Amino acid sequence: MKCFNHHESDSVGQCKHCYKGLCKECAADTGVGIACKGLHEQDVEFLHSLIENNKNAYSNTPQSLLMSNLFVLLMGGLFVGYSLYFSGSSFLMWFGFLCIGYWASMTVYNFMLLKKIKTDY
């Protein structure tokens, strides 16, 4: 592959932002990839930071899903318990069972979702 700007020179790499072939004169090494000198250094560094942030978000996903599911289960149990011991309201009892059913379905869904997420980078 030849350099995009200097057609007679061989390229040493591609810009991570625009994917153009670059020779030694046109390439700038940002430490996280090659960029067009004077044009895309900040863009390449920003792209790298986005990728790192996404990796962190995916690695924290199982904990956040677990906490939200436990909260729904706790609230369902509280509604059922309150309706049985204090009020005898069938609405609260059914609402509690609805919360528990929602918890069960979301637990199964999240379990299947977490199998698809790969966090071993």
Q: Where are the alpha helices (DSSP H) in 33-89?
A: 41-82
Q: How many CB atoms lie within 10 A of CB 19?
A: 8
DSSP for residue 87: I
The pLDDT value recorded for residue 83 is 86
R_g over Cα of the chain = 27
Question: 38-71, pLDDT tens digit by residue?
Answer: 888 898 899 899 888 888 777 767 777 778 888 8
* pLDDT tens digit at each of 121 positions of the chain: 888 888 888 989 899 989 889 999 889 888 888 898 888 889 889 989 988 888 877 776 777 777 888 888 888 888 888 888 887 778 888 888 998 898 888 888 877 776 766 655 5
Q: Residue ranges of the domains in the chain?
A: 1-39, 59-116
d(CA 62, CA 70): 12
29 three-state secondary structure = strand
